[in-house]
Amino acid sequence: MSSVKKICICALCIALCCVLPTAFHGLGLGAALSPMHLPVLLCGLICGWGLGAVCGVAGPILSSVITGMPGAAMLMHMVPELCVYGLCAGLLMKWVRTGTLYADLYLALVPAMLLGRVVGGAVQALEYLGGTESYSLAMWVSGYFVGTLPGILLQLVVLPALVLAVMKAGLIPARYPMKKEMV
């Protein structure tokens, strides 16, 4: 895939970082479904680690400037979290080659989602240092896993299907050549 096409896809994903949260929050589903995570992970899977990381940084910052979401307090830990999502998803898609698209996608998504949540929680814990409130493991698990479980499930269902659909439509190259049937 050409660099220009990758940059265009990244720009589209950054724009989705502004549009999706506005739509989801308007329906009252924003916090539970983590809509900004979808385009960042998608960008990493399709465009690679560099543009995935750019999307993870630029998306939430641009969304915050344009829509006010996320707020400054959330932005501080969302930017590192989303940057790690895009970076890791892209790196793992580059390195993992099982011969099966769905296996590759899940082996890229799951570790990226876990590492991003660890980084986001670590940054949030650092924000609490020196403050009057404390940050605990229970707060991290509750905020990053329990409260966002619907979003995690949505990402694990929608993203592989979306990548496959985009490949089948010919918008991005197929990861593995189609096997011809023997006659």
Q: What is the mean pLDDT of residues 141-148?
A: 84
Confidence at 25, pLDDT banded by 50, 70, 90: confident
- pTM for the whole structure: 0.92
Residue-wise pLDDT tens digits, 26-37: 887 777 889 999
Per-residue pLDDT, 179: 60
Residue 169 has pLDDT above 90, yes or no: yes
Confidence at 84, pLDDT banded by 50, 70, 90: very high
Residue 182 has pLDDT above 50, yes or no: no
Spatial distance between the Cα atoms of 106 and 93, rounded to a whole number of angstroms: 9
Residue 4: what residue type?
V
Per-residue pLDDT, 109: 97
Residue 181 has pLDDT above 70, yes or no: no
The token pair that represents 15 in the structure block:
């724009």
What is the dihedral angle through the alpha carbons of 59, 61, 67, 72, rounded to the nearest 10 degrees? Answer: 140
Spatial distance between the Cα atoms of 137 and 145, rounded to a whole number of angstroms: 11
Spatial distance between the Cα atoms of 43 and 12, rounded to a whole number of angstroms: 9
Q: What are the C-alpha distances in Å from 51 to residues 23, 104, 122, 137? A: 24, 19, 23, 31
